[in-house]
């Protein structure tokens, strides 16, 4: 198993069940330092030229091709929700597949987006960025934070008995309730826990050692949002009714990942305002599925 966030606090993007496999459209994502540079126009500005990549799909209902702007279901053939893709010729799409009256293929597109449809201004091309199973471009590297994770514990400890598994559960509850807890992950796939806190890591390590004898690394991240703040901000963002909001997810490193259709100034301001009681702009990683061509990269 690879590196992964600890299961008790993991909050995935808002695409579950059959939507677990998603296609990445955002070419560029960056941490938000303020209002986005809207050089390519907004969803109300049909003169705005955007680029993105993901799945183009057409069903047998006669509705024409669509550009998927969110998760793609794992069904065969695939399913998704998107916008009309105007001007697409399937002969220009590399690696096109067809089954049960559905045609689809992965594309990188450039065109004008008016909030309802995406009109191609160039022929589609092969995607240039890798597509991750969760629809992103890959999360942060969740490495082991210390050289000796068994300091003060039991070397090579792996919970096996019922009591040891209960100790792991108690450890998880302790983390969630600890003041200044940011997030955690396991770096060996199971039992070496890496924990971030906003305060002094030494008292935190001592408190965690009372419940957990296995691998443990604790590091301070003063500028990170706590898990409690991220939960509050994510709930508020979901209730804000922001146009173009696709998903949000709180990762283990104190940053809220937010996916929108277009990260224009209006949407960026709305996202930042919704989470402002809990998060600073530096604690929000905003990614747009469609990126203004002038700022793409």
pLDDT of residue 172: 93
State the pLDDT at residue 188: 79
| Domain of residue 290, CATH code | 3.30.1340
Per the domain annotation, does 266 fall within a domain?
yes
User: Over the chain, what is the mean pLDDT?
Assistant: 79
Whole-angstrom Cα distance, residue 193 to residue 153? 12
Q: Which of 187, 203, 220 is the last residue of a domain?
A: 220
**E-state strands within the chain:** 4-5, 29-31, 49-58, 66-72, 80-86, 97-99, 102-113, 117-120, 181-186, 193-197, 216-220, 245-250, 256-262, 284-292
Which of 220, 248, 264 corresponds to the end of one domain?
220
pLDDT, position 128: 78
Q: Do 214 and 239 belong to one domain?
A: no
Separation between Cα atoms, residue 190 and residue 159, nearest integer Å: 9
**Dihedral (C-alpha) 143, 286, 260, 114: value to the nearest 10 degrees?**
-140
- The answer to whether position 213 is within a domain reads yes
Domain that holds residue 274: 227-295
How far is residue 49 CA from its own chain's centroid? 24
Domain identity same for 251 and 288: yes
Supply the pLDDT for residue 240. 92
pTM (predicted TM-score): 0.70
Q: Is residue 47 part of a domain?
A: no
Phi, psi at residue 123, to the nearest 5°? -65, 145
**128 inside domain:** no
Number of structural domains in the chain: 2
Would you state the pLDDT for residue 142?
80
For 208-219, what is each residue's pLDDT tens digit?
A: 999 999 999 999
Whole-number pLDDT of residue 141: 58
Q: How many Å apart are CA 184 and CA 199, to the nearest integer?
A: 15
| pLDDT at residue number 47 | 53
d(CA 5, CA 42): 35
Q: Is residue 30 part of a domain?
A: no
* 123-126 CB contacts, 8 Å cutoff, 24+ apart: 123/89, 123/92, 124/56, 124/88, 124/92, 124/93, 125/94, 126/94, 126/95
Q: pLDDT, tens digit, for every residue of 228-248?
A: 999 999 999 999 999 888 888
Comparing C-alpha atoms, which of 119, 106, 116 is closest to residue 49? 119
State both tokens at 14: 């808002």
Question: What distance in Å separates the CA atoms of residue 295 and residue 181, rounded to the nearest whole number?
Answer: 36
The pLDDT score that the predictor gives to residue 171 is 94
Which of 204, 220, 236 terminates a domain? The answer is 220
52 in helix, strand or coil? strand
Nearest-angstrom CA–CA distance, 5 and 286: 20
Pick out the chain residues at pLDDT < 70. 1-47, 70-71, 73, 129-141, 294-297
Residue 238 in domain: yes
């Amino acid at each position: 198993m690879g590196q992964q966030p600890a299961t008790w606090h993991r909050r995935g993007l808002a695409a579950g069940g059959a939507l677990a496999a998603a296609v990445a459209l955002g070419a560029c994502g960056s941490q938000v330092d303020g209002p986005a540079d809207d050089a390519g126009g907004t969803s109300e500005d049909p003169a705005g030229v955007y680029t993105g990549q993901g799945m183009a799909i057409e069903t047998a209902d006669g509705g024409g091709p669509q550009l998927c702007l969110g998760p793609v279901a794992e069904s065969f053939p695939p399913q998704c929700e998107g916008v009309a893709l105007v001007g697409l010729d399937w002969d220009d799409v590399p690696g096109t597949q067809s089954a049960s009256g559905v045609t689809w293929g992965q594309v990188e597109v450039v065109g004008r987006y008016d909030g309802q449809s995406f009109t191609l201004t160039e022929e589609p091309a092969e995607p240039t960025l890798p597509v991750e199973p969760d629809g992103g471009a890959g999360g942060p590297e969740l490495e082991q934070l210390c050289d000796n994770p068994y300091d003060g514990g039991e070397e090579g400890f792996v919970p096996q008995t019922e009591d040891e598994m209960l100790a792991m559960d108690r450890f998880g509850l302790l983390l969630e309730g600890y003041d200044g807890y940011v997030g955690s992950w396991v770096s060996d796939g199971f039992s070496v826990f890496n924990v971030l806190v906003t305060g002094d890591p030494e008292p935190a390590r001592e408190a965690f050692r009372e419940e957990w004898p296995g691998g443990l690394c604790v590091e301070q991240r003063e500028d990170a949002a706590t898990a409690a703040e991220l939960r509050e901000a994510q709930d508020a963002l979901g209730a804000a009714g922001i146009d173009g909001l696709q998903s949000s997810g709180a990762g283990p490193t104190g940053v809220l990942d937010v996916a929108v259709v277009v990260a224009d100034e209006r949407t960026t301001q709305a996202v930042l305002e919704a989470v402002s009681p809990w998060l600073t702009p530096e604690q929000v990683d905003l990614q747009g599925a469609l990126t203004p061509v002038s700022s793409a990269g």
